[in-house]
A = this chain, B = another copy of it.
Amino acid sequence: MSKYIVLIDSNDQKGLVYKVSTIFYNYNLNIISNSEFVDRDNNKFFMRSVVEGDADAKELNDAIKSVLPKTASAKVIAPKKKNIIIMATKELHALGDILIRHEAGELDANILAVISNYDELESLVSKFGIPFICISHKGCSREEHEAKIINYIDAFEHVEHVDYIVLAKYMRILTPKFVEAFEDKIINIHHSFLPAFIGANPYKQAYDRGVKIIGATAHFVNNNLDEGPIIAQEVIHVNHAYSWRDMQRSGKDAEKVVLSHALKLALEDRIFVYANKTVIF
């Protein structure tokens, strides 16, 4: 008995559920859970099914593809540990939360390495027996720096075998080239506020504005560090007694919660990306 996650992303047309469920039926598969969503404005259809049975994954995938529109995408995934690489700079709250969850067995993932442009986090990461690689950005262009990172990843594991890159407070902007190499695979967190603040020290700006809520957003990186498809958002209530440093400290709690939550959704193959948005089942 095998268990598969089936992900379908297609233009909508009549009969898709019928056609796919007919295949499940013919392959004698049990549907354990099943979610669909139709975005009628964009004429898009999304389906995530968890099925159980004796089918061969490749054969099942081909059968499903054969009934879908040519432009549709279908994946039949046998659940397995995902390979992730974490990139960070100096702050350890978001990274630490992931390491502890990993240690607790909460994350279905192999952490291949933690890559940082500084060495401050080495002490923490090495406690957990996870490779820590410091690739300094000093004295090299953004392109050169990223090339070193990609070379490192490549040497150690093929780029295409990396399922997710998690930016756990990695404080550098990535070039479009790097982002393309890991399309819809890079997860970032960034502070977010009502209203939004752009530029240096957003917590200081939020404090000056007298906000009563601060927040954090986890999103895929998509050629623009803070503008990719949103996966999850969380807020924390603050008040006048919070200095901007207090807000920053509370913001860290929102950041780590939202990043770990987004990572969990990704590891469980629950996220579809389209039109710079996410559908999450």
User: Any chain B CB within 8 A of the CB of A181?
Assistant: no
Contact call A233/B211, Cβ cutoff below 8 A? yes
A203 and B278 CA atoms in complex are apart in Å by 17
A38 nearest CB across to chain B (Å) = 6
User: Any chain B CB within 8 A of the CB of A96?
Assistant: yes
**Residue interface mask A74-99, B partner, CB < 8 A = 1:** 00000000000000000111001101
**Which of B24, B97, B239 makes the CB contact (< 8 A) with A100?**
B97
How many copies of the polypeptide does the oligomer hold?
Answer: 4
**Which of B103, B212, B235, B241 makes the CB contact (< 8 A) with A230?**
B212
A52 nearest CB across to chain B (Å) = 10
**Which of B18, B37, B124, B253 makes the CB contact (< 8 A) with A24?**
B18
Residues of B within 8 A of A240 (CB): 37, 39, 277-280
User: Any chain B CB within 8 A of the CB of A63?
Assistant: no
Q: Report the stretch among A109-117, A156-164, A187-195 that lies at the interface.
A: A187-195
Contact call B210/A276, Cβ cutoff below 8 A? yes
Instruction: Name A206-230 residues within 8 Å CB distance of B.
Output: 208-213, 215, 217, 226, 229-230
Determine the residue in chain B with the shortest Cβ distance to A243. B41
Q: Report the stretch among A27-35, A134-142, A143-151 that lies at the interface.
A: A27-35
A36 nearest CB across to chain B (Å) = 4
User: Any chain B CB within 8 A of the CB of A175?
Assistant: no
Residues of B within 8 A of A231 (CB): 212
Residues of B within 8 A of A30 (CB): 14
Instruction: Name A11-29 residues within 8 Å CB distance of B.
Output: 14-15, 17-18, 21-22, 24-25, 28
**Which of B28, B106, B194, B239 makes the CB contact (< 8 A) with A217?**
B194
User: Any chain B CB within 8 A of the CB of A172?
Assistant: no
Determine the residue in chain B with the shortest Cβ distance to A278. B210
28 A-B residue pairs with CB within 8 Å: A14-B30, A18-B18, A18-B22, A18-B24, A21-B21, A21-B22, A22-B22, A32-B38, A32-B40, A33-B38, A33-B241, A34-B36, A37-B241, A41-B243, A91-B104, A96-B100, A96-B104, A127-B128, A194-B196, A195-B226, A196-B196, A210-B275, A210-B277, A213-B235, A215-B235, A239-B280, A240-B279, A253-B257
Given contacts A18-B22, A31-B17, A194-B233, contact A276 B103 (CB under 8 A): no
User: Any chain B CB within 8 A of the CB of A167?
Assistant: no
User: Any chain B CB within 8 A of the CB of A232?
Assistant: yes
User: Any chain B CB within 8 A of the CB of A249?
Assistant: yes
A170 and B237 CA atoms in complex are apart in Å by 27
Residues of B within 8 A of A253 (CB): 257
